[in-house]
Amino acid sequence: MDGIIKDGLLGDPGIGLKGSELPLGEALALARKRYKWMPLCVVEEWIILDAIVTDAERAKVIAAGCQPMFMFAHKVVDDEQRRFEPGHWVRSSMGTAFNDGFLFETRNSVYVLLGPGHRKSATIKEIFSLF
């Protein structure tokens, strides 16, 4: 996977973004206030991947309640449901919203994005090559 990250899809960092700069506990408390029942997963070294899709594909994705975007993180800090081990990487399912610059929402989880990250466009094939 490192070859893909360094040379291909993630070699060009894209647009720099800032996630939450709050301490872990405060970032979690803020996320929990907004998302009462959603599982939270805190990550660092993240990138938002905007899927390159046709207008027709975009319409279908939006009709299904999603946005054509995914989140990939090199480092899981904490996962409430222990689905992902601390220090491991994670790729989200398709996102439904990106709020407050650090809350990436999917149908099943909210990813709390800590520290600096990036945003860039990628093909679906490239996104799913991150296994």
Angle ∠(115,121,126) on CA atoms, nearest 5? 100
Per-residue pLDDT tens for 10-34? Answer: 567 789 999 999 999 999 999 999 9
| pLDDT band at 5; cut points 50, 70, 90 | very low
Distance CA 76, CA 46 (A): 9
How many structural domains comprise the chain?
1
Distance of CA 77 to the CA centre of its chain: 13
pTM: 0.88
Average pLDDT over residues 42-69: 95
Contact 82, 96 (CB under 8 A): no
Domain assignment of residue 97, given as a range: 2-128
| pLDDT band at 54; cut points 50, 70, 90 | very high
